[in-house]
Amino acid sequence: MHLLQVSHLQKKYGSHEVVQNINFHINRGECVALLGPNGAGKTTIIKMILNINKLTGGQILLNGKRHDQMCQFIGYLPQHPTFDPWMTGKELLTFMGGLSNIDKEVLEQRINELLDLVGLGGVKNQLIGTYSGGMKQRLGIAQALIHQPKLLIMDEPVSALDPLGRRDILELLKVIKQTSTILFSTHILHDAEELCDKILIINQGQLLVNGSINQIIEETQQPIFIIQAPRIGEWTHELVNEDIVESIELTGNAAKVR
Ligand code: ADP
């Protein structure tokens, strides 16, 4: 049985169908990217899995059970996490862990382990207001993992960071993926490629491609997607050099990949 099974997923806002008949699954231990330009439908899909948005059609199963009964098994890092600047990192995790009814001693140990894992062990007693953007993102990841979820979902976890901060978080996610099942959204192919076993390419609410980057290139003779990315020149250059793709047409901030 797959950990997450998404079948015939559909979302309409009025007559606008923003998610159209999407099917995919995630196995335990996989790291999967939802890749697509802004407005593709990534956040809407994530919010339906989290049971924040109602499904217009289709079904989502987590561990074989209806997802709306299973939300406590999901850890979530939103695109723009906000924190009380007057709390310390440790206080925040203690509070969040308390909400999950974790035994006090177990929680204390887990918080210390998590803070060390995300590299905040040395600043755990500092106010979150003094943390950098990257440190807040690390805290958000620790918060999402506090109740040991079966699935960690992150919405554009590195997009808002500067290049160095981005690299740091990608390295951290490489460690976390060794012990977690991850679904994360991004509009940057390079990040998906670096981290993920499987890539789901979404455009205008449709799932265009589902597979590893090599499968995607092998199986697709047609241009596979048009995507916007701030660092598009960088990754397209790499892909052409590695003979992974035949051609890339750049138009402004978008690329058509063949
Ligand atoms: P992404 O996360 O890929 O950037 P979203 O899922 O946020 O895309 O948005 C997909 C589409 O759904 C967009 O066209 C967006 O404008 C629309 N949309 C998202 N939320 C709402 C809403 N609450 N009401 C109406 N339209 C929405």
Q: Which atom of ligand 1 is nearest to the CA of 202?
A: 3
- Chain-centroid distance of CA 188 in Å reads 12
Tell me the mean pLDDT in the region 239-255.
50
Q: What is the CATH number of the domain that holds 207?
A: 3.40.50.300
Residue that wins the pLDDT comparison between 10 and 212: 10
How many A from CA of 19 to the centre of ligand 1? 9
* Average pLDDT score over the chain: 86
User: Is residue 248 included in any domain, yes or no?
Assistant: no
Three-state secondary structure string covering the chain: CCCEEEEEEEEEECCEEEEEEEEEEECCCCEEEEECCCCCCHHHHHHHHCCCCCCCEEEEEECCEEHHHCHHHEEEECCCCCCCCCCEHHHHHHHHHHHCCCCHHHHHHHHHHHHHHCCCHHHCCCEHHHCCHHHHHHHHHHHHHCCCCCEEEEECCCCCCCHHHHHHHHHHHHHHCCCCCEEEEECCHHHHHHHCCEEEEEECCEEEEEECHHHHHHHCCCCCEEEECCCHHHHHHHHHHCCCCCCEEEECCEEEEC
Q: What are the tokens at 256?
A: 């058509």
Q: Which atom of ligand 1 is nearest to the CA of 13?
A: 25
pLDDT at 161: 85
- Chain-centroid distance of CA 136 in Å reads 16
Ligand 1 in reach of 143 Cβ (< 6 A): no
User: Is residue 245 included in any domain, yes or no?
Assistant: no
Reply yes or no on whether the pLDDT at 81 is more than 50.
yes
Domain that holds residue 18: 4-213
Reply yes or no on whether the pLDDT at 256 is more than 60.
no
User: Is residue 202 included in any domain, yes or no?
Assistant: yes
Q: Which atom of ligand 1 is nearest to the CA of 46?
A: 6
User: Is residue 56 included in any domain, yes or no?
Assistant: yes
Closest CA to 256 of 143, 242, 239, 110: 239
Lowest-pLDDT range of 90-99, 111-120, 190-199: 190-199
**Is-contact 174 192, C-beta < 8 A?**
no
Ligand 1 in reach of 42 Cβ (< 6 A): yes
User: Is residue 162 included in any domain, yes or no?
Assistant: yes
Name the residue of 17, 20, 22, 43 whose CB sits within 8 Å of the most ligand 1 atoms, as the mutation to test its pocket: 43
pLDDT at 220: 56
pLDDT at 165: 87
Q: Which residues contact 64 (CB under 8 A, 6 or more apart)?
A: 1, 5
User: Is residue 233 included in any domain, yes or no?
Assistant: no
- Nearest Cα residue to atom 12 of ligand 1: 18
Ligand 1 in reach of 38 Cβ (< 6 A): yes
Q: Which atom of ligand 1 is nearest to the CA of 41?
A: 6
| pTM assigned to the model | 0.86
- Nearest Cα residue to atom 22 of ligand 1: 13
Q: Which atom of ligand 1 is nearest to the CA of 53?
A: 23
User: Is residue 258 included in any domain, yes or no?
Assistant: no
> How many domains, the chain?
1
* Reported ipTM: 0.98
Split at pLDDT 50, 70, 90, the class of 228 is very low
Q: How many CB atoms lie within 10 A of CB 130?
A: 11
Reply yes or no on whether the pLDDT at 241 is more than 60.
no
- Nearest Cα residue to atom 25 of ligand 1: 13
User: Is residue 64 included in any domain, yes or no?
Assistant: yes
**Is-contact 1 185, C-beta < 8 A?**
no
Starting at the earlier edge strand, list the strands of the sheet with 254-257: 225-228, 254-257, 248-251
Closest CA to 181 of 204, 157, 148, 205: 148
pLDDT at 13: 95
Distance CA 6, CA 4 (A): 7
How many A from CA of 23 to the centre of ligand 1? 19
Q: What is the pLDDT of residues 27-67, one digit of tens each?
A: 999 999 998 888 889 999 999 999 999 999 999 999 999 98
Ligand 1 in reach of 187 Cβ (< 6 A): no
**Is-contact 169 161, C-beta < 8 A?**
yes
Q: What is the pLDDT of residues 154-194, one digit of tens each?
A: 999 988 888 888 899 999 999 999 999 999 999 887 788 88
- Nearest Cα residue to atom 6 of ligand 1: 41
